[in-house]
Amino acid sequence: MLKLIVGLGNPGKKYEHTRHNIGFDTLDLLAEKLNISPSKAKCKGLYGQGTLNGEKIFLLKPQTYMNESGQSVQEFIQYFKIPIEDVLVLVDDIDIEFGEIKIKAKGSAGTHNGLKSIISRTGSKDFPRLKIGVGKKHEGEDLASFVLARFPSQDQEEINQTMERAVEAVLAMVDHGVAYGMNHFNGKNKELKS
């Protein structure tokens, strides 16, 4: 059962609403829906706590910068005694199609430094993650500049719909498990494309 939802991003005004911060933005949307405010400081992160279906659930935004996200996650799960497989990580992805959601039960970090940090700090790859496709950089474009940029205005509506869908997926996984989420939410929202 999912007990901790982690949104990855970079703290500070400079990074707000950038591609790399879609984990933060999606977590904020989830927090709003659940009426949980991730505003308490602990374990190098901001967290909020509430109940969902009678079970305790935590929302966490590491404040360590992306490359050190694992510090906060590892301290948090140790402090609250949460098994790593009950942690869901919300993260941006440049390798899947823009506006696509990909849920995986476990696996490698791929090219993502936030996931690399969590795997390195916790010593485990066995945690589910929900990846959100933020688009692919243009040839010759610097990767850091691309992920630290905001979405162009013409993409904003679709990315907002994708975040809404990601929140639906999280709530469905809390209810029915990660496999259910993978079966029902992986890929593009079919309704968006019709």
pLDDT in tens, 15-69: 999 999 999 999 999 999 999 999 999 999 999 999 988 889 999 999 999 999 9
Residue range of the domain that includes 97: 4-193
Domain tally, the chain: 1
Distance CA 51, CA 116 (A): 30
**Which residues have a catalytic role annotated?**
20
pLDDT in tens, 140-194: 889 889 999 999 999 999 999 999 999 999 999 999 999 999 999 998 764 443 3
CA-based end-to-end distance of the chain:
34
Locus of tokens 């977590």: 27
pLDDT in tens, 118-145: 999 999 999 999 999 999 888 888 988 9
Q: Which of 183, 157, 13 has the alpha carbon at shortest distance from 105? A: 183
No. of helices (H) and no. of strands (E), the chain: 7, 7
CATH number of the domain within which 184 lies: 3.40.50.1470
pTM for the model: 0.95
